[in-house]
Amino acid sequence: MKILTSKSIAKLKIAFKENNNLIDKSIDELTNELTLAFVERYKFDQNIQLLEPTGSSIADSKDKENCILIYQALPELNRADATDERLWVTLCLSNYKSYFLKRWPDKDKLFNHIFAANWRQRMRDNAIGRLWWTMHLSFNLDKKNPETFLKTLLSNSDYRSSLLERSSSANSTVVLKSILEITEEMKQKGLDYDRSKFRNFMKEVDFLGKKTLIHSLNSDQIKALLIPVFKNAYK
């Protein structure tokens, strides 16, 4: 597929900061108006279209289905490729623009959902990148049945953000899987998700990650280490 060049992304950022109504223009109109350029890069199945949201609930957002679809549409994409802001911006403004506008209709927040210059923006904000990364993480957690973890990751946006914005968890499959399992186990014991308490727990995980080689432990060892921390955060 053809994706925008880095220079073109820079032009778009300036233009959208000045006028977010540019979203009403097609990619061809933007190309002509801003003199944008493209390069041939990734393998992309343009026949795969994302499902458009039918409401505001988690189920109606179609995030789960679209995580699976975007992973299929970019069959050869790897983690390094998925850090390429040019890819996600191009898809937001071209092939998946209709989905993008229905999923994120607030024009005042368009900039955040189009661009993805850093890890947090790619993982949480970009309309298309967030779908691919969530599916990628779920697949790494359970290659045979990734939808098990996909459901948990999409169940609450605050939970997902707290979990994935910290390198200690997001960059280690065994740590991430252990935390997800702890969350479910504690939920069964009556400790339901609480935004501020879980954020405090994740701060401690981040601290432990920097202090010890937590990612070198196995799942049982990590859970033995973190369950007391979780319970303490929920007191």
> What's the pLDDT tens digit per position in 51-86?
999 988 888 999 999 999 999 999 999 999 999 999
> What's the pLDDT tens digit per position in 133-151?
999 999 999 999 898 888 8
Please tell me the predicted confidence (pLDDT) of residue 151. Answer: 84
Residue 167 has pLDDT above 70, yes or no: no
Please tell me the predicted confidence (pLDDT) of residue 169. Answer: 65
Please tell me the predicted confidence (pLDDT) of residue 210. Answer: 75
Please tell me the predicted confidence (pLDDT) of residue 230. Answer: 96
Mean pLDDT for the chain overall? 92
Give the residue-averaged pLDDT of 167-178: 78
158-to-147, 193, 196 alpha-carbon distances in Å: 19, 10, 10
Please tell me the predicted confidence (pLDDT) of residue 85. Answer: 98
19-to-3, 24, 106 alpha-carbon distances in Å: 22, 11, 14
Give the residue-averaged pLDDT of 211-218: 83
Residue 24 identity: D
Give the residue-averaged pLDDT of 189-194: 92
Question: Encoding tokens for residue 49?
Answer: 């279209």
Counting residues of the chain whose pLDDT is more than 70, the rounded percentage is 97
Give the residue-averaged pLDDT of 101-107: 94
Phi, psi of 153 (to 5 degrees): -65, -30
